[in-house]
Amino acid sequence: MEGLGQFAFVTFTSILFLVDPIAVIPAYLAFVRNDTPERRRRTARAACIAAAIALCVFAAGGEIILRLFGITLPAFRIAGGAILWLVAMDMLRAKRSTQEGNEELMEGQQKEDSAVTPLGVPMLAGPGAMSTVMVLSAQATGVVNQGIVFVSIIVTMLISWAMLRGADKLLVRFGESGIRVMTRVMGLILAAIAVQFVLSGLRQAGVISNVIPGS
């Protein structure tokens, strides 16, 4: 990626679209439907904090994990792009099956810490988001770029917290169909980012030449 601004834009949009707080709203409302307003606020806050911690841990330890297992950055970028593509395809179908299963949802409904799991992890911080922050952190050069990754995570979670806090109003305003449409739009953009990840990985691995624009 060329330029600090481009890196910041791609980093923030990738994380935001993968976290996809809009698509979490129906599940969140199902979890807190019998809770008091104060309990709902605590649940939203705890879910976003848990997701932020999980993503920051993966961002901080990404390069160490790659070195530990002898994985090159190009290989991980290609794998990360493939995961993003699968997530994007589910988003285009307005599904979230790649991030959480029915067993996790049922387990979360029966536990007091449902704000942490599955709402925080893996619904907000799913495998796609985790692998992406690892790739972005590993390819970030310098303190500034590293800081951009962590700031993007925090800003994304603040946006997610605000959306969960206003979940009732958003659902009434846009409806289930409106949320599905927005999810599909974000899925389309995410699919393009996934392809870019794969192309960049192939270029860095020497499989394709540098003549592909923007790769």
Q: How many CB atoms lie within 10 A of CB 142?
A: 9
pLDDT in the model for residue 84: 81
| Residue 51 CA from chain centroid, whole number | 9
Q: Is the pLDDT of residue 215 over 60?
A: no
Average pLDDT rounded to a whole number, residues 117-125: 87
Average pLDDT rounded to a whole number, residues 97-126: 65
Q: Is the pLDDT of residue 213 over 70?
A: no
pTM of the model: 0.76
Q: Is the pLDDT of residue 155 over 60?
A: yes
pLDDT in the model for residue 106: 53
pLDDT, tens digit, for every residue of 45-97? 999 999 999 999 999 987 788 788 888 888 888 888 888 888 888 888 876 54
Instruction: Report DSSP letters for 82-103, one per residue.
Output: HHHHHHHHHHHTT--TTT--HH
Share of the chain above pLDDT 70, in %: 86
Query: pLDDT: is 90 or 156 the higher one?
Result: 156
Distance CA 3, CA 14 (A): 17
Q: Is the pLDDT of residue 98 over 70?
A: no
Ordered by start, the domain boundaries in the chain are 4-204
Distance CA 64, CA 54 (A): 16
CB 57 within 8 A of CB 116: no
Confidence band of 185 (pLDDT split at 50, 70, 90): confident
Mean pLDDT of the chain: 83
Taking alpha carbons only, the member of 81, 76, 65, 80 closest to residue 205 is 76
Average pLDDT rounded to a whole number, residues 41-47: 94
Average pLDDT rounded to a whole number, residues 31-45: 89
Phi then psi for 25, rounded to 5 degrees? -55, -50
Q: Is the pLDDT of residue 9 over 50?
A: yes
Instruction: Retrieve residue 142's tokens.
Output: 């310098």
pLDDT in the model for residue 103: 53
Distance CA 179, CA 109 (A): 23
Taking alpha carbons only, the member of 77, 78, 82, 116 closest to residue 98 is 82
Q: What is the CA radius of gyration of the chain?
A: 17
- Contacts (Cβ under 8 Å, ≥6 apart) of 178: none
**DSSP code for 118:** I
